[in-house]
Chains A and B, each alone.
Chain A
Amino acid sequence: MAVMQTTALALAVLGAALLLGGLLSGLDRRLTARLQSRQGPPFTQPFFDVIKLLAKERMVTNPWQAFSPLATLSAAACALLLFAWQGDLLVILFVHMAGGVFLVLGAMASPSPYSQIAGQRELWQMLCCETLLFVMAGALYLTTGSFRVSGAAALGEPLLYRLPLLFAAFLLALTVKMRKSPFDLAGCHHAHQELVRGVFTEYVGPHLGLLEIAHWLEVVLYLAICSLFWATGPWGMILLPLTAFLAVIVLDNVSARLTWRWMLGWGWGAAFVLSAVNLFWLKG
């Protein structure tokens, strides 16, 4: 019976995350439209999009295009559930990374040049962001003495006080992971015809729908990791991620969109150095 209870709880958590992820995505589109002097779609638009996609005809060039969305979605859901169960942050990041691996494999399984090049770029993006997230896990260990997510709440003071530079690096990783910038990453929300649709080019209908849902869950996961920076109470854990989310959208709309070369060079370089400096200062 414990299995039944756990399963029911897990499904409830996933359902709530889906709802939250979809609404956040709708908020994103609406806010972006308002910042661009437009009205924008309703908040529930992402749900309509996904339902429409799930009801479309299935077409694949390669069986991996059917497998990868399932794998990515499973990885995103598993990582989120592990977080909800206060698991080990390293394991959460490894599982989430596996989702990215399958996404790239699915993209590279098609011979279309658009999805091939986009796969390469997606790998560069993973290189940057995964590094920064793992450094953050190391910071969690240094400050709380364990890799468990629950350690951040038990600390007593917000992690943000001790890890300000690391938070700046995390915001950069969040911008890239939310597919806002760089614009030629392919799959970017705004330059949404860059390399046609980047890694998502060859996915059709239900498979694209599953990938969209996986993206929602991943954004919820990143915001959950963001909440670790102010884990002292429920208000901090809600307001900080929300502020970060809105800040990323606003910043993205008011500044130039950058290229993947910038991301690899300045973005990653500077962020990594900032994080390392923060950690050394913390240790010393």
Chain B
Amino acid sequence: MTIQPGLTGSIFFLSITGSSMTEAILVVLIIVPFFAALACLLIRSTACRACIVIATAAMLAVSSLLLQGPLAPDAGLRWAGLIDPLITGCDFLLLAVMFYLGCRYRHPLIVLLTAGQLGLFVRLEFFVFAKDRGHALFQVDVLSLTLVRVVCLVGGLICLHAIPYMQAHEQHQNPARSRQPQFFALLLLFLGAMNGLVLTNHLAHFYFFFELTTLCSFLLIGHDRSKEAMDNALTALWMNGLGGLLLLFAIQGLYGQSAMLDMTGLAAATAGNQAALLPLSLLLLAAFTKSAQLPWQRWLLGAMVAPTPTSALLHSSTMVKAGVYLALRFAPAFAHTLLAQGLMLAGGFTFLAAAALAIGQRNAKKVLAYSTISNLGLIFACAGIGTPAAVAAAMLLILFHAVSKGLLFLCVGTAEQQVHSRDIEVLRGLCARMPLTGMIAVLAVLTLIVPPFGMLLGKWLVFEAGADHLVFYLMLVLGSSFTLLYWVRLAGTLLASGQVEGFKPERQPLLSRFPLVALACGAVVLALGAPILYGRLLPGGQTWSAGRGGVLTTAVGSFPLDVLFAVAALLGLLALFGVSRAMAGRKAFPYLAGANTRLPDHFVGPMNRPVRAMVENSYLAPFFGEERWTLWVNLAAAGFLLVMLGGALWQ
């Protein structure tokens, strides 16, 4: 599996259609969602709005697949005269809106942070930055392509799922006036902002899209307008605002070192520059706040009060990936420094601590949130390790995590609409009440923890890349074991049900079912194609030979992907046969010491009345509880961050 055919194909493609095709695709990816969002806001008819959302999602999906890199060095440059002032103007507008929100909700921290950003932005834009821009405004490389495809494909499917979900949500909430137009407008706006974020090559434009996603997140978290929602939305706003301020300081520092705002050029130019390490560390801190790493995890946990499409899209698949994208983009700049080592340890600690806190959690969405934080910590650690293999592992993790976690959020959200609770214990036995959703949820969990699926392949790569650093390896091992525990417990709780007659899928709207099934199939198919993906993700001339005989061979180990898939396929066939034979036999009742009644999980209790046999999972709150350990974990995380900063300052 080589990358030659792909490269030749894309060169051929570009040569016959020219760069105008690519520019058209870029316009579709970034500009069209803005207009579609406006249309959603203005058009009041539900059916029309649904059509707009479906059409936009389809267009984005197709465009992201058609997009090919690399771009010409002057890509988008002829539009610079139009884009630059437009984005600067929108940036001011954005910061002004955030300032207004801080004043309106009387949140001094937001007012301060936004004022600081405004002041610094004015200074940078008018007094510091030189006027000429000789670099490409956009860049499309493997990292951007991966993220664009994740945003458009996974994001598109989530938007489709949101259509029937929000209708049911509003029926349940019953507000005075439907807020669905705003909701879908924000979803589409957000998709455009994310596309802009990963495709832009200009650091100041990146900052604009970064803050735009912050605003979208605030508005989407506060969608329900309840006190709890608004409180959490404001927390998200100030924490992400802090990230924005840190990013501006970082931009100032980096520009001071190299007089460039070109992201790819900057990453190369500042490599080996000692003085650039401090602004880079501020950049990483900004990335940490965006990705809700410890000690800034509070906003993501609070954001779980938002409707499910928000959680699935922003807070697991795409927005929080903006932080890791930033770290990976600038990874060459701080490779092999103490800062990188500090990043690796900080990421590893987040992986471990978030996994431990997830064990003590009863709220299903919070378990998913902690798991997201944990996996993002792992990806940050990959950026810290910095070897080509680690970076490839990071991109595989981003891809597979987005698909599986988005799917899991959609399933949990669908289930929550039926049972009206987020407690894992209330979701017990979901597979009996909602067979298809439950089974897909269990499959999603399995794709996260079991070979031969993609997440495990990525984790194996990280184990191999990180084995040289003993402390990090021990954190990995512990965190991985903790991860296994809470996932298997969640999947087992969903499965726990009495006698199952047969598989009868529950009734669901098509727009709900299609994204679930598509994402589930996607997770499996992408895992099958992992060798091809892996070959594309690594730059040429590496010491790894991918995909010979279906075995991913590295210098220190090998992963027999095809063999494992063959075993899994054989197991599937055996299982079909075995399960159908077993179900044809006599039905068994669970063992309840002989005191069974006709109901499967009831036994004969006092006064000969049937009593339900109730068991709860063990959460071991004294050892893993959030209330008890968050403070200490945050202190430890702050310690690791100080070590990281120290690594930047002292060298």
Contact = CB atoms under 8 A, between A and B. Distances in A.
Contact of B474 (A71, A91, A101, A135): A135
Contact of A91 (B450, B451, B579): B451
A82 B564 CA distance: 10
Contacts of A91: 451, 460, 557-560
Contact of A147 (B456, B464, B488, B600): B464
Contacts of B499: 61-62
B375 interface: no
Interface in A93-127: 94-95, 97-98, 101, 104-105, 107-117, 119-120, 123-124, 126-127
Contacts of B498: 61-62, 111
Contacts of A58: 581-582, 585-586
A119 B582 CA distance: 22
B568 to A, nearest CB: 8
Contacts, number: 191
A131 B477 contact: yes
Contacts of B467: 138, 141-142, 147
Contact of B450 (A60, A101, A119, A123): A101
Interface stretch (A162-170, A212-220, A275-283): A275-283
A145 B575 CA distance: 39
B583 A280 contact: no
A134 B560 contact: no
Contacts of B574: 70, 74
Interface string B423-458: 000000100000000000010001001110000100
Q: How large is the interface on B (under 10, 10 to 19, 20 to 34, 35 or more residues)?
A: 35 or more
A213 to B, nearest CB: 14
B217 interface: no
Interface string A193-214: 0001000011010010000000
A interface bracket (residues with beta carbon within 8 Å of B): 35 or more
B16 interface: no
B13 interface: no
24 contacts: A58-B586, A61-B498, A61-B587, A63-B500, A64-B495, A66-B583, A67-B578, A67-B579, A87-B558, A95-B451, A101-B450, A111-B497, A113-B592, A120-B618, A123-B488, A126-B481, A127-B485, A130-B480, A135-B477, A138-B474, A141-B467, A141-B556, A147-B467, A279-B470
Nearest to B442: A105
B470 to A, nearest CB: 6
B589 A126 contact: no
A138 B600 CA distance: 46
Interface string B573-617: 011001101110111111110000000110000000000011101
Interface of B: 429, 442, 446, 449-451, 456, 460, 463-464, 467, 470, 473-474, 477-478, 480-482, 484-485, 488-489, 491-493, 495-500, 555-560, 563-564, 567, 570-571, 574-575, 578-579, 581-583, 585-592, 600-601, 613-615, 617-618
Contacts of A32: none
A65 interface: yes
Contacts of B460: 90-91, 94
B558 A88 contact: yes
B170 to A, nearest CB: 35
Interface in A260-284: 276, 279-280, 283
A60 B574 CA distance: 17
Contacts of A112: 590-592, 601, 613
B582 A65 contact: yes
A204 B585 CA distance: 12
Contacts of B478: 131
A7 to B, nearest CB: 11
A110 B590 contact: yes
Given A59-B586, A90-B460, A131-B478, A71 B591 contact: no
Given A105-B488, A131-B481, A62 B464 contact: no
A38 B614 CA distance: 41
A202 to B, nearest CB: 6
8 A-B pairs closest in CB distance: A108-B492, A112-B590, A66-B582, A88-B557, A59-B588, A111-B601, A147-B557, A58-B585
A94 B578 CA distance: 25
Nearest to B450: A98
Contacts of A61: 498-500, 587-590, 600
Given A109-B496, A113-B592, A135-B477, 7 more contacts: A60-B582, A64-B495, A88-B557, A104-B488, A111-B590, A111-B601, A135-B474
Contacts of B429: 111
B483 to A, nearest CB: 10
Given A74-B567, A127-B481, A146-B557, A276 B488 contact: no
A280 B557 contact: no
A127 B492 contact: no
Contacts of B579: 63, 66-67
A78 interface: yes
A145 B588 contact: no
A135 B471 CA distance: 11
Contacts of B477: 131, 134-135, 138
A96 B563 CA distance: 15
A220 B568 CA distance: 22
